[in-house]
Amino acid sequence: MTHSILHIDASIKPAGSISKDLTRAIVDRLRGAHTDSDLIYRDLGANPVPETDAAWIVAVNTPADQRNAEQSEIAALSDQLIAELKAADTVVIGLPVYNFNLPSQLKTWFDQMARAGETFRYSESGPEGLVKGTRAIIAYSSNGTRLGSDIDFASGYLRHMLGFFGITDVQFVASDHFAIDAEASLNAANEGIANLAA
């Protein structure tokens, strides 16, 4: 059975991105174990998806058969991003930490997919995620913001949004003190990758 991988990078660096190096290593490990895997790749730093705005909220809440051409185009991208996420057995996300939080490009990717009836639904017991059975592996990189520390506002948000969509199998590998000890920071991340179940 084909294993589907969705690979998301969010670094704005054109070269020398640690998070990109780590996501590539994770994807290589997964593809080595699943030789028949399918891969969809999005580089949100180089090719960001549009921010949501008033036109977006109108478009995605207009029935498909009533949308004009512009609304259909706006909704089509959102639909495509959701379809990519739902089709993935594993989603690999690069999480470079900028100013203690995630890149705006990565938040916009989540914003494009946060649609009631598509990735979650409201129930009497509260919101329920609709993306089931997907595993997420997060490559966390930072010069000095330690994963899970009081100043890490990135990983908790990412874990919450994935869980909100229904993805609760979430693992992190981290190079989180690169500016302090580059070698140790990368060694820790690579050890985390080596210990991942493929």
Binding residues for FMN: 11, 17-19
Give yes or no for a contact between 179 and 143, defined as CB atoms under 8 angstroms apart: yes
Which residues fall in the annotated binding site?
11, 17-19
Burial class (CB in 10 A: 0-12, 13-18, 19+), 72: middle
Whole-angstrom CA distances from 78 to 17, 21, 60, 147, 184 are 27, 27, 8, 30, 39
Contact status, residue 152 vs residue 158, Cβ threshold 8 Å: no
Amino acid found at 51: E
Burial code (b: 16+ CB inside 10 Å, e: under 16) for 31-66 equals: beebeebeebebbbbeebbeebeeebeebbeeeeee
Residue 41 tokens read as 């790749």
Q: How far apart are CA 118 and CA 83, in angstroms?
A: 9
